[in-house]
């Protein structure tokens, strides 16, 4: 085998960084949205739920197009961002965070809403009855009760963020050393005939994803059931 | 002291009948039981008082505080109502130890006394030894004591108990009744308890309110209600009586007697003031007030022939069920109280004691 160029680990680190930040942001936004969807009744609630889920089913190009229009340098949001941070958002690694946010948030909202709705109402009633404010009820009762489901959903969202390709390509581009994430680097390597690099990255990403999903499964099982006795 | 006037309407849905609650009552110190079959609106009443459900109209007063006033638009949040709620499933937070459950509830008490208060409650309810355990590690009785302690610790001014005896076996029930009696003595907190269990009602209630289809049909001390149900519906709900449709054939105030016609038979009862000859009324009599014997020739005075359908063993005797919805309960030592000898006999006579007959 001819010696290829030296292995570039940047895409891997970038992907991990993007996935971590986007999962954290998705947790904040997703939990809030899921809480509202699970606890409030308002007109258009199911439309909101569908809209949040939409990115899961839309083609990446469609989503990427929307985001380019919405966040591009000519858009109001793009202007504000440029004014605040001194540079455009599109075609930076931060844009990659936004791209994966649109896939990790729906996953989190879906699972968290289901988790919130699965909490026995009497716990929430009991907490309110005992004088708890809504905030305290959320942090002290509801969230601890569903924390395993939420953690599992976050792991899933993280894994999904690692693998985003289409949307990232469209709004963050493919700038080696700046916005090139793992999935794009793999594409690049295959296109450039650099199979050794592609193979290593593919194996690493598969292993990481498998590990995360296994972890997610282990987290969800056995919430407050009887403690297992170890003899 | 609770004074409540509650109206709540649920429109009929595609596959559910509508329901309306229309209730006015007051509950002072001691135990007030809301008695009724399921679907009578008992739990809904508790939920309205606790603030989980907003009534359409009415007014709910706890001591001097208005919890709800439909006309004035007052609807306090559940957390500001100071109503301790003991849930049917106890609703102890499963991710907290028993002590943490109590601490959660004690957080509205002044910070300084919290710790001492929690310890005091654990001690009073015999929970100190298991304070570090999670609810799933506790027995049913411990969970129940904990949920009562938790409801009381936040200085509840009334205790709302939703079918607390349900799912407890006999010894646990007895233990639980003792706990409630102690709560009444030590804390003096008025209690509003929901049940459909006649025995529980009789054991615990100072006052009872009989609910049927969202309406209060009778209230008073259990003794009074049980002795003289307000109407045949209440009597049916209590489930303690033989109810026979009879017609008054004659009334004799001088000899304090009456004659009643039941199907083709005639029974002699006491004089019924305020009734007229020809009135169609319900005769009600408890199964243990009747006696039965295998039939031997013509039925004698105040006896009605009956076909034995079932003979059931009870802890303290036998229950005999006859055709025509008549049940007789005889104590263990009574004549013919033998399953082996008499369960095969079909033809019996049931004797009605004249002076125990009452009508509705």
**Domain holding A140: CATH number?**
1.10.3720.10
Would you call B150 and A130 a contact, using CB atoms and an 8 Å cutoff?
yes
A227: pLDDT confidence band, cut at 50, 70 and 90? Answer: very low
Residues 6+ apart with CB under 8 A from B354: B257, B267, B268, B269, B270, B302
What is the three-class DSSP state of B268?
strand
Is B14 an interface residue toward A (CB < 8 Å)?
Answer: no
A135 in contact with B, Cβ within 8 Å: no
Residue A230 within a domain? no
- Reported as a single tens digit per residue, the pLDDT across A54-84 is 998 999 999 999 999 998 888 898 889 989 9
Nearest to B104 among A133, A140, A224 (CB): A140
Q: What is the pLDDT of residue B188?
A: 86
Contact A225 B93 (CB under 8 A): no
Is A150 among the domain residues?
A: yes
Residue A142 lies in domain:
10-220
Is the predicted pLDDT of residue A3 greater than 80, yes or no? no
Contacts of A122 in chain B (CB under 8 A): 87-89, 91
Domain ranges within chain B, ordered by starting residue: 2-237, 241-359
Could you tell me where the DSSP H helices lie in chain B? 42-50, 98-106, 111-124, 140-153, 170-186, 198-204, 222-227, 232-238, 339-342
Amino acid B296: pLDDT: 85
Q: Looking at the complex, does the CB of residue A131 fall below 8 Å from at least one CB of chain B?
A: yes
Separation CA B240–CA A49 (nearest Å): 54
Closest-CA residue of chain A to B102 = A130
Chain B window 49-78: which residues touch A at a Cβ cutoff of 8 Å?
A: 50-52, 77-78
- Non-local (6+) Cβ contacts of A12 within 8 A are A182, A201, A204
Best A122, A129, A225 member to test B by mutation, with max B CBs in 10 Å, is A129
User: What tens digit of pLDDT does each residue of B157-174 get?
Assistant: 999 999 988 878 888 888
* Residue B185 contacts A, CB cutoff 8 Å: no
Cα Rg, chain A, nearest whole Å: 21
CB pair distance less than 8 Å for B85 and A226: no
Question: Which residues in A lie closer than 8 A to residue B84 (C-beta atoms)?
Answer: 129
Angle at B79 between CA B73 and CA B81, to 5 degrees: 60
> pLDDT digits over A171-214, tens only?
988 888 888 999 999 999 999 988 999 999 999 999 999 999 89
A174 found inside a domain: yes
ipTM: 0.82
| B355 in contact with A, Cβ within 8 Å | no
pLDDT class of A231 with cuts at 50, 70, 90: very low
Return the CATH fold of B2-237. Rossmann fold (3.40.50)
Q: Which of residues 143-202 of A touch B (CB under 8 A)?
A: 144-145
Cα distance from A42 to chain B (closest Cα, Å)?
Answer: 18
The beta strands (E) that lie in A61-183 are given as none
- For residue B78, list chain A residues with Cβ-Cβ distance below 8 A: 125, 128-129
- B85–A123 CB contact, under 8 Å: no
Is A133 near chain B, with CB under 8 Å?
A: yes
CA angle B313, B314, B320 (to 5 degrees): 60
Q: Does A229 touch chain B (CB under 8 A)?
A: no
d(CA B87, CA B43): 10
Q: Which of A128, A133, A145 sits opposite B95 (nearest CB)?
A: A145
CB contact under 8 Å between A126 and B108, yes or no, is: no
CATH topology for B241-359 is: OB fold (Dihydrolipoamide Acetyltransferase, E2P) (2.40.50)
Segment B323-341 mean pLDDT = 84
In a domain, A94, yes or no: yes
Count CB atoms within 10 A of the CB of residue B135.
20
How confident is the model over A130-175, as pLDDT tens digits? Answer: 999 999 999 999 999 999 889 999 999 999 998 889 899 999 888 8
Angle between helical axes of A93-118 and A10-39 (0-180°, round to 10): 40
The residue with tokens 């999903």 is: A213
Give the pLDDT band (50/70/90) at residue A221.
Answer: low
Q: How many domains are there within chain A?
A: 1
Average pLDDT over chain A, rounded to an integer: 88
Distance CA B359, CA B257 (A): 13
Least confident interval from A113-127, A140-154, B102-116, B328-342: B328-342
Give the pLDDT confidence score for residue A112 in this predicted structure.
93
Pairwise CB contact (< 8 Å): B93 & A120: no
Nearest CB among B87, B134, B154 relative to A131 is that of B154
pLDDT for A228 equals: 36
- Is residue B10 less than 8 Å (CB to CB) from chain A? no
Q: Which of B79, B94, B150 sits opposite A133 (nearest CB)?
A: B79
CB contact under 8 A, B104 and A144: no
Taking an 8 Å cut-off on Cβ atoms, the answer to whether A145 and B94 are in contact is yes
């Amino acid at each position: 085998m001819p010696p290829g160029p030296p292995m570039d680990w940047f895409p891997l680190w970038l992907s991990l960084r993007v996935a971590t930040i986007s999962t954290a942001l998705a947790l904040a936004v997703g939990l809030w949205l899921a809480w509202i969807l699970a606890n409030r009744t308002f007109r258009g609630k199911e439309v909101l739920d569908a809209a949040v889920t939409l990115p899961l089913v839309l083609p990446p190009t469609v989503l990427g197009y929307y985001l380019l229009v919405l966040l591009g340098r000519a858009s109001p949001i793009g202007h504000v961002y440029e004014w605040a941070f001194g540079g455009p958002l599109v075609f930076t690694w931060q844009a990659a965070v936004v791209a994966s946010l649109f896939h990790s948030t729906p996953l989190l909202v879906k699972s968290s809403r289901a988790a919130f709705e699965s909490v026995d109402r009497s716990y929430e009633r009991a907490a309110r009855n005992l004088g708890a404010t809504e905030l305290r009820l959320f942090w002290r009762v509801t969230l601890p009760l569903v924390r395993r489901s939420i953690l599992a959903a976050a792991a899933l969202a993280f894994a999904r963020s690692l693998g985003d390709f289409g949307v990232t390509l469209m709004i963050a581009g493919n700038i080696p050393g700046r916005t090139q994430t793992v999935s794009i680097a793999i594409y690049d390597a295959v296109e450039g005939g650099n199979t050794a690099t592609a193979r290593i990255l593919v194996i690493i990403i598969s292993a990481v994803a498998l590990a995360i999903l296994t972890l997610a499964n282990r987290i969800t099982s056995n919430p407050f059931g009887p403690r297992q006795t170890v003899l | 002291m609770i004074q409540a006037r509650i109206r709540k309407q649920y429109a009929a849905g595609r596959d559910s009948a509508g329901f309306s609650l229309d209730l006015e009552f007051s509950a002072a110190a001691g135990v007030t039981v809301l008695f009724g079959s399921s679907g009578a609106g008992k739990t809904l009443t508790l939920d309205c008082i606790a603030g989980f459900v907003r009534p359409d109209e009415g007014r709910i007063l706890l001591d001097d505080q208005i919890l709800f006033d439909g006309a004035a638009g007052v609807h306090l949040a559940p957390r500001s109502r100071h109503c301790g709620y003991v849930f049917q499933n106890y609703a102890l937070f499963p991710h907290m130890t028993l002590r943490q459950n109590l601490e959660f509830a004690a957080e509205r008490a002044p910070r300084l006394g919290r710790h001492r208060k929690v310890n005091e409650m654990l001690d009073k309810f015999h929970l100190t030894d298991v304070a570090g355990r999670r609810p799933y590690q506790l027995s049913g009785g411990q969970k129940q004591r904990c949920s009562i302690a938790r409801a009381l610790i936040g200085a509840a001014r009334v205790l709302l108990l939703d079918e607390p005896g349900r799912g407890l076996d006999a010894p646990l029930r007895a233990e639980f009744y003792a706990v409630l009696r102690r709560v009444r003595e030590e804390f003096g907190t008025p209690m509003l308890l929901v049940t459909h269990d006649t025995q529980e009602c009789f054991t615990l209630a100072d006052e009872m309110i009989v609910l049927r289809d969202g309406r209060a049909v009778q209230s008073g001390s259990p003794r009074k209600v049980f002795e003289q149900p307000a109407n045949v519906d209440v009597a049916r709900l209590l489930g303690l009586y033989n109810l026979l449709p009879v017609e008054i054939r004659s009334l004799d105030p001088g000899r304090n007697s009456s004659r009643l016609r039941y199907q083709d038979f005639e029974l002699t009862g006491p004089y019924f003031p305020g009734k007229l000859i020809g009135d169609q009324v319900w005769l009600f009599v408890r199964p243990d007030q009747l006696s039965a014997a295998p039939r031997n020739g013509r039925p004698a005075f105040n006896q009605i022939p009956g076909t034995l359908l079932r003979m059931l063993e009870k802890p303290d005797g036998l229950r005999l069920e006859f055709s025509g919805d008549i049940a007789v309960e005889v104590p263990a030592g009574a004549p013919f109280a033998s399953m082996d000898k008499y369960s095969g006999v079909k033809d019996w006579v049931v004797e009605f004691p004249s002076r125990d007959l009452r009508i509705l």
